[in-house]
Structure formats: C-alpha cells, structure tokens
Amino acid sequence: MGMKKIYFIFMLLAFSVVSIAQEPKKWKAPKRPKPIKWEAPRQVAPEVIDVWRPYHVSDNWMMDFYGGWSMSMAENMAGRGVIKMGMPMFDLGIGRQFSKVWSTRLTLGYRRQKGWASKEALAVSEQLGDGDYTFGMAALYVDQMMSFTNLFCPYNERRKLDVQMFVGAGLNYSFGFDDKTKRWSRLGYPVDGSDHMNLAIRGGLQLLWKVNESADIVLQGTGTMVGDSHNGVKHSGTFALEPYAEVALGVRIHLMDHYGDYRYYKVRRWEATALRTADKRVAELLDNEKLKEYQDREASEVVAFGELMKTRISFYVDRVFVNDYQMENLRIVADFLKKNPDVNLLIKGYCGASEKSESPDMHLAERRVESVKKALVRHYNVDVSRFETWFDEKATPPFPMKGEWIDGVVFMMRKR
C-alpha cells in the first residue's frame, strides 16, 4: 500500500473522530426519585403508670379488737388437759398500713393465765389441793405484719380474703397471783407470787374476711415465747423462755383517710402526669394548661335546667376513686351550687359496659356516684339535700371514652 493511501485513511479516521466529538449530545431529563408515600402519624397511646396515690401520715390507720382463749404451755403444765389450760384473753390494737404488703401494729392486751403445781409436786404434798392457780397478765407488743395475699397476687382492694403473717416483740407483766401461792411457797413449792416483768416474742397467722369497706372479721392464731418466770415458777437458773398459745376472733376497723376512703388504693395516671416529678418546667407547663382549662370550664357553666353541666368527672377504667385532677372539677361543681342557690343536681353514674371495657358486675356506676357524693360532702361541705343520685351499670355513657378514661359521672341541673 502506498504512502498516499495510508495518509488518506489516517486523515479520514481523524476527521470522523473529530466530527463525532463535535456532535452535540442529546439532552435527557434526570430521573425523578420515587415520591414518598405519605402516612399519617400513628397515634400512640401514652403509657399508663401505676402508682400509689399520695397519703398523709394520718391515712391508712386501723384498729383491732380481739377476744379469745389463752393456753399456757409452760413446763409445770405438762400433763394438764388442754381445756383446763385455757383462760380468756382480750387485745386492743392500733396500726398503720405502709404498703400493699407491710403494716405495723401496736397491741395492748389482758389475759388470764393458769399455773399448775405439776404432777410431781402434787404427789409429794396433798396440801397443794388440785394444784391450780391463776394470775393476770398485761401484754404490750409491736407487730410487723405481712400480707401473703398481696405479696403473691396483684393488689385488689375489693378482694374478700386476705392471709397475713405477723411477728412481734414486747413485754408481759404478770400480777394478781392467787393468795394460795404464798402458802404454797411456805410449804416449799417454788412459786413466787410477786409481780414479774418478762420479755416476749411472738408470731402468728391471720385470716381476714372483708365485711365492707371499713371492716374485716379476723381469725388469729398466735404462738408466744415469754420469760420463764412469767408464771411465778422458774425452772432454770439462766434466762429461758416458755410458750403459750392463743386463738382469737376479732374485728379490724379501717379508719377513713383524707380522701374519704378506707382502703389502700392504687392510682393509674398518664405518663404526662408523671413528668411532674421529672422536670420543673414541664410541671409548670402542665399546671398552667390545666389551670386554663379549669378557668374556661368554670366560666362557661350557666344555669340550664334539664341539661348537663359541662363539668364531668372522669375515671380510669375499672376504677372508682376521684383523683387529684378530678377533685378540682368537683370544686367547680361545688362553687356552681354556691353561686346558684336555686339549682339542685342529679348525679348520674355510668360504667363502660356498653363498650365492653368494664363489667357491670363490678358495680362501678354505683360506686363512682358514691365516691363523688362523699367527696362533695366531705371536702366541699355541700349540703347533701342539694343533689340526688342515679346510676345504671348497663346504660351508655353520654360522652365517649377517651383512651382509657371514661366520663363516669355527670351532673344534670334541676330546679330546687
């Protein structure tokens, strides 16, 4: 191939490359990203927190009254029949419940006790007669009580049966020995009829049956170890303990707390409420919002006979107590009655049975009405003649449930 042909081919290729390079590129629109499908934010229910409602020192007190049978099982009673060993006893106690499980009690009691000269002594001396003698004993104890039921089962203030264990320590004071013990002492029988003070420890079980909101029937069994000399007969040169046992039947009275209730209650509240203890600024914000809500509602209340007040009382599902927020709503109701002496109220109670969230068998509507009525009378001095009550466990509430809350009590205005 000649040089001219090679040069011509080379020039042709170069021209082709330059032509292609100078040819403008065809424009293409950039690919658009796929549009993101919009989804409404999910409504997440706030967390429900269970806490014990705040109690004062004056709350959760109780009183115990017992009567029963006290049986000495001291060493000198060996061989004596069980029935012949027993005598009556009485106890009065006062205590306080500190949690669902633990409570403390102080008891003061009196019991008669029997002593016996023992078979050996009777065999030696006929002048001891039947060998029986009696004396009195005052007992003071501090007991720590633990509820087995509430320890192993969820707390339920409506539960009927409660099983409790208790342990305690205290003093036993023996006095009033039969005069014949002085004569026996002169005969050589080692009985000391003077007064004796002895340390004692005890433990036992209680079965409590709830009668109503303020009272329980109690069956109590107790085993006690007391100083050896409590019965006037000391069998050991060193410190020793002797037992006696008791079976008693009594009643426990629960005293009213500052809420107007008798039992230990648990409060369920929203997570937002719990933030009050976490951040001062959040607490102030919540307080201001709640105050504004109360003021707006209070200003909007006007007399309209036959209609419902805008203020109503909400309850958490399955609960009947009036919490602190709802107490402020009750204040609005009480002030409304004071400002309008010609108005009476019909307090109407509901449960959420129609929405299958609460059971009619729990009598929530009735109990909610009673809680509201009691709070209005006790805390706001409302004359009980200013309102009537009505409840229906199966009626549909006039306002729908909000989350886990139900407007369980409403107020209808009536002409006085």
* Interstrand relation of 343-350 and 387-392 (parallel, antiparallel or unpaired): parallel
Give yes or no for residue 282 having a pLDDT over 70: no
Q: Is the dihedral of CA 289, 294, 300, 306 positive or negative?
A: positive
Three-class SS state of 24: coil
Q: Which amino acid is at 167?
A: V
Give yes or no for residue 49 having a pLDDT over 60: no
Task: Of 47-51, 132-136, 203-207, 248-252, give the lowest mean pLDDT range.
Answer: 47-51
**Ordered DSSP codes for 89-128:** EEEEEEEEE-SSSEEEEEEEEEEEEEEE-HHHHHHH-GGG
Digit-coded pLDDT (tens) for 182-233: 777 766 677 787 888 999 999 999 999 999 888 999 999 999 999 888 887 7
Q: Which amino acid is at 261?
A: D
- Mean pLDDT across the chain, nearest whole number? 80
Token pair 């102080």 is found at 106
Q: Which amino acid is at 7?
A: Y
Digit-coded pLDDT (tens) for 107-145: 999 999 887 766 556 555 656 666 678 889 999 999 999
Which positions ≥6 away from 354 have C-beta within 8 Å?
394, 395, 396, 397
- Average pLDDT rounded to a whole number, residues 283-311: 78
Give yes or no for residue 271 having a pLDDT over 60: no
Three-class SS state of 207: strand
Say what the pLDDT of residue 274 is.
47
Give yes or no for residue 11 having a pLDDT over 80: no
Say what the pLDDT of residue 404 is.
72
Q: Is the dihedral of CA 302, 303, 307, 308 positive or negative?
A: positive
Give yes or no for residue 272 having a pLDDT over 50: no
- Average pLDDT rounded to a whole number, residues 15-35: 60
Confidence of residue 97 (pLDDT cuts 50, 70, 90): very high
Taking the C-alpha atoms of residue 406 and residue 404, their distance in angstroms, rounded to an integer, is: 7
Global pTM exceeds 0.75:
no
More confident residue, 389 or 319: 389
Q: Which token pair is 106?
A: 């102080």
Compute φ and ψ for 100, nearest 5 degrees: -65, -20
Annotate 264-299 with b (16+ C-beta within 10 A) or e (fewer): bbebbbbeebeeeeeeeeeeeeeeeeeeeebeebbe
